[in-house]
Structure 1
Amino acid sequence: MVACTFVWTPTASAHGTIVGPATRAYQCWQTWGSNHTNPAMQQQDPMCYQAFRSNADTMWNWMSALRDGLGGNFQGATPNGQLCSNALSRNNSLNTPGQWKTTSVGSNFTMHLYDQASHGADYFRVYISKNGFNPATQTLGWGNLDFITQTGRFAPAKDIRFNISTNGSYRGHHVVFTIWQASHLDQAYMWCSDVNFG
C-alpha cells in the first residue's frame, strides 16, 4: 500500500528514507507535497508549514539527508540539537520542537526503509527518546536517547524492513532516531520519526 504513494520528486540525487514510521521530512512530503500551496497547512500541520517556509527543499529532497565520510563517528560529528536534520543546515527546521504528526506504534513495531537506489545497509542503529523527554518543547540531543538496537547487514533492495522490540515502558509521543549506514559508500543518513506509543 505504501508503494503506491511514491511519485517522482525533483531530488538532486535519489536515495531513501524511513517511510514507516515516517520521518519528519517524509511525513511533510507525503501529506503536503502535492498540496503545498494549501493555506490549511499552517493550521493543520504547523510543523510542516514552518519547515516548508524555512526551506522548501527539506520537503522536496526527503530522500537526500546524507553526509559523507563520517567513519562511524556519528556522535562526534553531529552536535546536540542537530540530530533530526543530520546536521544539514538546509534541514535545520526539522530540529524545531513542536507538535509533529505522529505514527501510532506498539511496543514492538516494524521499521521500513524505502531506497530508490537500492544501496543496501552495513547496519541501522535505532534509538528512542527517553521517558521524560518532550519533543514538543525540547530539541533532541544524544543524552536524550535510549539505544535500542543495531542491525546486521542488508543486501541492496528498494524496500528493507526490520523489527524493533522495546521493553514496553514507552507511552505517548517519542522520537525514533535512526542512523542508516549505507553500503555503497561511507554515507550516513540520520532521521527523526515521531511516534505515539499506545
Structure 2
Amino acid sequence: MHDQARHGGAYIRIHVTKQGFDPLTQRLRWSDLEQVLDTGPFPDEGPTTDDPILDGVSYSFQVTAPGRTGRHIVYAVWRAGHADQNYYMCSDVRFPGGAPDPTTPPPSPPAPNDGCTAAYTPPGQWTGVSRAR
C-alpha cells in the first residue's frame, strides 16, 4: 500500500471472504469476511519513491488466507494515524483452484421495488398541449 500523504496508521486490517462466498452472485456483507491481518500502529516511515507526483512512502505486509480456492474479495480498512480518518480498499482476487469463470455472466439480481416511480418530460414537450402556429 502507498501512503502519499504520510498519514502513518493506527492500523490496517485485511479481511478476506470466507470459503464458499461467491462474489459473482452474492452481495458482500461483514459476516462474509474473515479478518486475516491487523497490523497495529505503524509510523509514516518506509520505502519512498523517486516519482515526484506520487511521493510518500510504501508499506508491505505479509498476508495469509489458508484454505481458500477460487474467487474471493480482499477488503482492507486503513485507519490513519494522525486523525480519525478511515480509507477502504476492495480487490477481486483468485486463489489457486476452484471453479473456472462462467462463459456467460450470471443474471443480475432484481432491484427491490419500493413503490417509487418517476416520470420525465423533456422541456417543450408538454403532454396534451398543442402549439399554435
Q: Shared topology, TM-score over 0.5?
A: yes
DSSP 3-state at the match of 1:196: strand
User: Residue in 2 aligned with 1:165?
Assistant: 64
DSSP 3-state at the match of 2:63: strand
Q: Whole-Å Cα distance in 1 between the matches of residues 90 and 72 of structure 2?
A: 10
What amino acid sits opposite 1:114 in the alignment?
Answer: H
Q: Are the equivalent residues in 1 in contact too, given 2:16–2:65 (CA < 8 A)?
A: no
Q: Whole-Å Cα distance in 1 between the matches of residues 24 and 34 of structure 2?
A: 18
User: Residue in 2 aligned with 1:191?
Assistant: 89
DSSP 3-state at the match of 1:143: helix
User: Residue in 1 aligned with 2:4?
Assistant: 116
User: Residue in 2 aligned with 1:181?
Assistant: 79
User: Residue in 2 aligned with 1:135?
Assistant: 23
What is the CA deviation profile of residues 155-188 of structure 1, one whole-angstrom value per residue up to 9, with x for unaligned ones? 1142011111222x10111001111011111001
Matches within 5 A, 1:28-39: none
What is the CA deviation profile of residues 35-63 of structure 1, one whole-angstrom value per residue up to 9, with x for unaligned ones? xxxxxxxxxxxxxxxxxxxxxxxxxxxxx
Could you tell me which runs of 5 or more consecutive residues in structure 2 were left unpaired when the two chains were aligned.
Answer: 46-56, 97-133
Matched pairs, number: 85
Structure of higher CA gyration radius: 2
DSSP 3-state at the match of 1:164: coil
| CA-based RMSD | 1.1
Q: Whole-Å Cα distance in 1 between the matches of residues 90 and 29 of structure 2?
A: 12
User: Residue in 2 aligned with 1:146?
Assistant: 34
What amino acid sits opposite 2:73 in the alignment?
Answer: V
User: Residue in 2 aligned with 1:19?
Assistant: none
What is the TM-score with the length of structure 2 in the denominator? 0.60
Q: Using the aligned pairs only, state the percent identity.
A: 40
DSSP 3-state at the match of 2:16: strand
User: Which of structure 1's runs of 4+ aligned residues deviate more than 4 A?
Assistant: none
Q: Are the equivalent residues in 1 in contact too, given 2:17–2:34 (CA < 8 A)?
A: yes
